Amino acid sequence: MITGATAGIGRATAFALARHGFRLGLVCRSRAKGEALSEALRAEAGAADVALFVADLGVQTDVRRAADEILAGFPRLDVLLNNAGVFQTRFEETADGIETTLAVNHLAYFLLTDLLRERLVASAPARIVSVASNAHRFARLDLNDLEFRNRPFGAMRVYGTSKLLNVMWNAELARRLEGSGVSANCVHPGGVNTGLGDQNGGVLAQVGGLVKRFLRSPDKGAETSVHLATAPQLVDVSGRYFANCRERRPSAAARDAAAQAQLWELSEALVAGSASPAG
């Protein structure tokens, strides 16, 4: 199951996993783009079975509906790959009244994984792979202001903080999954030439080809995610951070166990108000 699969790293990951023989589930915001990708996967990568789930991951009722549909359509789930992300250059709120970067880059990972957790455990050995970033190293964490309502909103600062939350959450998730047969790891894909950063006049949109020519291809950026999803030697490896298919040590802030546990509690509170469509 891959989120944010229609472009960039997500698209490259989908093609790579299709070639590994996986049955694929794609969580996409655009039905048209999702259908086009599904057709391309069948035609170009020999994907015999591709399922599409349309959801805006910034809207928690959409995340819950997609999870219900995934559970109905996938009796087993071997890999959940949290990949979708945004890079916002200004403060915006989702329909839930949550700052968009936090909602998509962290809370969607947290909520979708929680909703699919029992199915992953029932499918063990299973893997959760979440795309983070080395941008987490430059973040300054304030657990009392995760949405940057009381601090200056800087695009890189906000994005880096969301990626720090990914790494912290992954570590706490791995602890909670110990003994279940489900691993949880996160990755730094490197600087990749994708559409990330092009939203609302983003940094990469402004500098255009000057920066993008130095970025790695989506295929190269997807390599570590695919490695974590498929490498036999990693089946029991959990709670780690990888870059270039090798384990790396995350920042000191990312390794703070007390802050990781507090973040989990804060995240639970931020998703508690969205009701499931099923009741």
Q: Is 241 a catalytic residue?
A: no
Q: What is the DSSP letter of 170?
A: H
User: Quick one: tokens of 181?
Assistant: 């047969």
Beta-sheet strand order (sheet of 182-188): 50-54, 24-28, 2-3, 79-82, 126-131, 182-188, 241-243, 246-248
Cα dihedral 206, 154, 244, 168 in deg (nearest 10): -160
* CA distances in angstroms from 189 to 12, 102, 156, 221, listed in the order given: 12, 19, 16, 5
CA–centroid distance for 6 within its chain: 13
The active-site residue, picked from 87, 159, 169, 241, is 159
Catalytic residue positions?
159
